[in-house]
Amino acid sequence: MTCLFRDYKEGMESLVLGIFIACVSLQLSEGLHKRSSVCYDHLGCFATDPPFFSLHRPLNFLPESPDHINVQFMLYTKHNPQKEQIVTINDSASVTSSNFDPAKPTKIAIHGYFDNGQKAWLHEVKDEYLKTHDVNVFIVDWGGGSKTLYTQATANTRVVGAIVAQFITHLKTVGHAKPEDFHLIGHSLGAHAAGYAGERIQYVGRITGLDPAEPYFQGTDVKVRLDPTDAMFVDIIHTNGESLLKLGLGMKQPCGHVDYYPNGGLTQPGCDAKNAVSNIKIEGLQGGVKTFFDCSHKRSHALFTESINSRCPFEAYKCNSYEDFNAGKCIPCSGGGCGYMGYHGDRVKPNNKQTLVKYFLKTGSTAPYCRFHYQLQITLGAPHGSRKERGDVYATLTGSKGHTEEIQLTDDHIDLTPGKSYTYVVTSTKEIGQLTKFTIRWEENAHWYKPLDWNPLNLRHPTLFISKVKVVEGENTQQFQFCGSNVAVESKTPKQLSASSTC
């Protein structure tokens, strides 16, 4: 079944590319007759000149009219958490008679391509906010402009952004709201629409981009896409930054004051072909394949939603790359250098007008996604008679509040050399408190091309010697040491070490 799905996936990649080329050709023939600019009352003019025309945007259309896009603003508050109030720009009474309170923070959630204001994640975000926060929440519905060919929808985001900016100005004028109290949360194309809105209004407080759309935006001029100048604070969650040819839908390019890359930001755990096969069995072929294609892209808003009321902090670590992060080079984050992905992202803002600061973290494959991070450094002893072994290493952490499951530290079989140190980043679904014990286990797996290392009759007892283990808790930088004193650990035989103040 997995092989069949791989073949199906490769076929779908070709199909998606073919459809894209066909759509481009179709729009090119139509676009020859389109004007180079269009103006709409109170919104200004929109042109297809550079920078909106570029190598990254070989075909660029004018946005459709505001009447066609039909942007609507649905207000929810503590007084009406389930039943929306429609607030309109051309009706001041719709503001003054609503539950909108300018003294409270305002959240504006904007959906992406081919969606509308009834998309489940928008209402999940709204519900999470109103559980514990007394805020105004507006859901923006621009379904009239999103359900079209992608290139047209990208153009329509310019009008959507302009209307959102006009709406904020209206709330400022009629309701005496302050721009710095507004937080725009946009997914995919909605992230760039939020950027267009922020570009038009000085001192918008915050924009959170949830996996901003890649096609027609990555690599473009800052006027075309979301960037740090669009709000006082711009934070980004990247979850699907693979190339478009690999069905990546989101930007890999950093574009905020801070950019968070959970699990590296390319694809997300639980979104691989293996899980897609399971989804096909549950949802049928069409539903399972759709879930697979946009799984990583949608994970961004799932992570943000969970972060609103999560007791787990979604703590992230400033790092140059995911490879450095996985190698344990960025834990702990001393001096308050940690970031907090999602709702609490504004707790840590770069100093000295820094932008494009990258943070990395690991999350789970299913909800709850948040994880607690630990850096492990295992130093092997080198007593007389020790030798290089090869295999897989596993560990279990035990603390005052519980223990982790056994964690596989190595992605593949590795050489384990006496006297050498090995560093890993591991996670736990729960906070396990003060560490008290460390359990290590390993399994030999000899090279196939080294027959002298084979041990079919178990005549040899492959053994590692543990000199010491150091564990650093990522969330509070506490360090724990476990003295091995060259304790022998035979293959497949777990060995438990107790915490010690010195080694």
Active site residue ranges: 188, 211, 297
Tokens of 153: 């929808």
Alpha carbon distance 229, 338 (integer Å): 23
Cα distances (angstroms) measured from residue 201 to each of 38, 167, 190, 195, 229: 21, 11, 17, 10, 11
Tokens of 242: 């693979």
Determine contact, residues 466/381, Cβ cutoff 8 Å.
yes
Which residues does 171 contact at the CB level (< 8 Å), separation at least 6? 95, 100, 102, 106, 177
3-state SS assignment for residue 250: strand
Reported as half-sphere exposure (CB side, CA atoms, 13 A), residue 344 has a value of 15
In terms of residues, how long is the chain?
503
Alpha carbon distance 281, 296 (integer Å): 19
- CA geometry: angle 93, 124, 65, nearest 5 deg: 50
Tokens of 359: 């943070």
3-state SS, one letter per residue, for 35-56:
CCEEEECCCEEEECCCCCCECC
Q: Which helix (DSSP H) or strand (DSSP E) does residue 421 occupy?
A: strand 421-428
